[in-house]
């Protein structure tokens, strides 16, 4: 990416959603030249597939499908199925985001029914703050579920769970989701412009 003619350098920015945000945070923790990461509803732990870089391996977090909760709509809420990477012994599955030198923007939906994204972002930022880091910011949107798309995308409150392949509640309410789309997208653009533009 650094060799691409449209990349100004010296680093690159990453925008990731869900699993993509998880991968983006892992890249920032281990790779140089990652300048800025915008993370949308990330689990901040290795899910499904372990991360491996050189001699370091981050094992996958345990998923408990039996913890999925039925909702009034007869679809499942999966927000509690991931073992808490902040409470698990040794935090083996948690991505060591505190190693990242990049600027970090966590965008989270307060009604995310797939991942406890607001909780994860808050907990990881407590770790960063305890280490004297100031390279993070959280944008939290009430009434917004797992999907925070660019403006004018339709709301998908129900979808297929990416791991269990069953119909799942993604969360979100139309008006709040629409407002979050517009605001979050402008914030992502401003974030990358601030940290990726060469003066």
Q: Which residues are catalytic?
A: 18, 112, 146
Cross-strand partners of 40: 17, 107
Judge contact between 180 and 109, C-beta under 8 A: yes
> How far apart (Å, rounded) are the C-alpha atoms in residues 69 and 78?
7
Judge contact between 60 and 92, C-beta under 8 A: no
Only one residue has tokens 């409470």, namely 87
Residue 195 CB-density burial (10 A; 0-12 exposed, 13-18 middle, 19+ buried): middle
Coil, helix or strand at residue 37: strand
Q: DSSP code of 60?
A: P
């Amino acid at each position: 990416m650094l060799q691409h003619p449209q990349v100004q350098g010296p680093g690159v920015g990453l925008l990731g959603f869900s699993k993509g945000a998880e991968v983006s945070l892992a890249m920032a923790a281990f790779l140089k030249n990652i300048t800025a990461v915008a993370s949308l509803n990330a689990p901040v732990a290795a899910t499904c597939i372990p991360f491996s870089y050189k001699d370091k391996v981050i094992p996958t977090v345990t998923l408990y499908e039996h913890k999925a909760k039925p909702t009034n709509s007869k679809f499942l809420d999966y927000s509690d199925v991931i073992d808490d990477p902040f409470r698990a012994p040794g935090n083996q599955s948690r991505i060591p985001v505190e190693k990242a030198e990049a600027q970090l923007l966590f965008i989270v939906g307060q009604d995310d029914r797939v991942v406890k994204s607001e909780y994860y972002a808050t907990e990881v930022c407590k770790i960063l703050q305890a280490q004297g880091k100031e390279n993070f910011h959280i944008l939290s949107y009430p009434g917004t579920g797992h999907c925070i798309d660019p403006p004018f995308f339709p709301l998908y409150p129900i979808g297929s769970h990416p791991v269990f392949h069953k119909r799942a509640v993604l969360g979100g309410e139309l008006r709040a989701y629409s407002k979050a789309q517009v605001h979050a997208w402008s914030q992502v653009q401003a974030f990358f412009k601030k940290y990726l533009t060469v003066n």
